[in-house]
Amino acid sequence: MLGRSDEGVLLKENGLDVPLPDGSTAYFNYYWLRDNCPASFDPETRERVFDVFGLLEAPKPAAAALVSDYLEVTWQASGHVSRIPVAQLLQYARPGQRPDPANLPRQAWFSDHYAHMARFSHEAVLHDETARRDWAGAMLTDGVALITGMPDTDAGLTETAGLLGYVRPSYFGVTFEVKTHIKPTNLAFTSKALPLHTDLPSEEFAPGIQYLHCRANSVEGGDSIFVDGLAVAEDFRKADPEAFQLLVETDVPYYCEHDTFDMRARQRVIELDEYGNVSGVTISQHHEDIFDMPQEDLDAYYPAFCRFGQMMRDPKYVMRFRLNAGECIVFDNHRIVHGRVAYSATSGERHLRGCYTDRGELRSVYRVLAGEGRFK
């Protein structure tokens, strides 16, 4: 059916033109209108319950009109009337992703960040939703925050991590203990210096958010070193755009192999988000597999890779601090590169207990606490 319906709505072959309150006229496809009718969503589960695959013919309207703040469409085959809020039409009149409250601008930080690092007490994040929202927000903008006043219990870590998502295991288990192990399976489990790295790049999806709860730190040495990989990568892009592109495009093999596991995955050193902004880095010399790319490609790749790795060590970027008992440092494992200086294992006790959650759940927590969901 072609023609003009009421209130200036123009019915076309596959969709309709509707005048909007901002003075523009926008086109909407009939499938889209039928599929996204408010009645297509179950009010309890909030899930879509309309079966667009069940349409035996393309949906066609018998009539359509603007009625107050709604576009009313009466469908030919079923007689169903869709009442679609004009506000929904305005939101989708131009192509583009649905606004995301968790899409906060990331803020690069440098060596002096320790004094400015977002800090929240364990008590606050546990009981105060505003503190929890601000903590999640800091994780999205800065990629790092410190939780203070942690209880000296095993449950303290998982309870804290559980506020930003479900604790996700790795091939080291649900949690891990960073202390001097008698038979270490990882450099972290020794007292040696631990060069700057992100964790577990040999996993297909390396963990997103890392929690390190300091239970004891009375040793000589063992300072933590943290770098904002995003700050380095954005500067690297300006300094050497071609090298930057190589690190964005090249898959690098990583491994982690011991008696009971043989993990392998490929990652890119610099990760971009859908807008082309740097969203993360992957660095781990001790888990980097022997490069298997064409040797000729390595003529350009190695110098770019090394230049980036050297830039990361520039004191301009390195935040060095001591993690104290009762603190839990929380950081984006895809963005924040971390390590520690060597310590004397016999000079005292050093024990960090760690676990991971994922980035998607962090954003979900932030949206719930800060956003206005479609069903609110």
Give the binding site for Fe ion (CB under 5 A).
199
Q: Closest CB to Fe ion among 232 and 283?
A: 283
Q: Which residue is nearest to Fe ion (CB)?
A: 199
Give backbone dihedrals phi and psi of 116, rounded to 5 degrees, phi first.
-100, -5
Least distance (Å) between residue 339 CB and Fe ion: 7
Alpha carbon separation from 46 to 38, 42, 166, 374 (Å, rounded): 10, 5, 22, 9
Least distance (Å) between residue 352 CB and Fe ion: 9
Least distance (Å) between residue 111 CB and Fe ion: 20
Least distance (Å) between residue 288 CB and Fe ion: 14
Question: CA-to-CA distance for 70 and 83, rounded, in angstroms?
Answer: 6
Distance of CA 121 to the CA centre of its chain: 23
Least distance (Å) between residue 338 CB and Fe ion: 6
Q: Closest CB to Fe ion among 318 and 365?
A: 318
Q: Closest CB to Fe ion among 278 and 283?
A: 283
Instruction: Judge residue 301's burial from the number of C-beta atoms within 10 Å of its C-beta, 0-12 exposed, 13-18 middle, 19 or more buried.
Output: buried
For residue 255 the two structure tokens come to 């491994």
Instruction: For strands 61-67 and 318-321, give the pairing.
Output: unpaired
Whose structure tokens read 């964790």? 199
Q: Closest CB to Fe ion among 71 and 146?
A: 146
Least distance (Å) between residue 189 CB and Fe ion: 11
Pick from 304, 306, 291: which is nearest to 252 by CA? Answer: 291
Q: Closest CB to Fe ion among 134 and 199?
A: 199
Q: Closest CB to Fe ion among 73 and 252?
A: 252
CB 231 within 8 A of CB 371: no
Instruction: For strands 144-148 and 119-121, give the pairing.
Output: parallel
Q: Closest CB to Fe ion among 250 and 284?
A: 284
Least distance (Å) between residue 167 CB and Fe ion: 16
CB 170 within 8 A of CB 333: no
